Amino acid sequence: MNLGRKISGGKYHKQKKKKLYEKSPQENKVLLGETKRKSLRIRGGNKKTILLKTKYANILVSKNKTQKAEIKNVLETPQNRFLARQNRLMKGVLIETSLGKARITNRPSQEGHINAVLVKE
């Protein structure tokens, strides 16, 4: 049986289109490279700055001290191992930096920067 067809073979038609707030947003892929940001208009007329590419991360070194470090490589992505090969940056990803291994703690596709915590080996 064909999907979206009546038993007689006729088509089912949508009752209405999706409104703007019902549509799912386009996925933002954050990659390793020269820093590139984009500003979006979000609900209520507000602005959101998202990250498209970056090679720097803010790393929490001690209890209340952060340091900016360069990202060398993406080591492991728990969501999907194939994303690590594409150097995709997202929450929970293990990255290799100039300070050592770190885990990303924020969502770079929703915010304009990357925060990470050093991982003890």
Domains of the chain are: 31-118 (3.10.290.70)
**Cross-strand pairs, 32:** 54
According to DSSP, residue 106 is labeled: S
* Percentage of the chain modeled with pLDDT above 70: 98
Confidence at 1, pLDDT banded by 50, 70, 90:
low
What confidence tier does 15 reach under pLDDT thresholds 50, 70, 90? confident
Taking only the tens place, the pLDDT of each residue in 72-118 is 999 999 999 899 999 999 999 999 999 999 999 999 989 999 999 99
Summarize pLDDT for 29-87 with one digit per residue, the tens. 999 999 999 998 888 999 999 999 999 999 999 889 999 999 999 999 999 989 999 99
Q: How is the chain split among helix, strand and coil, in percent rounded to 5?
A: 5, 40, 50
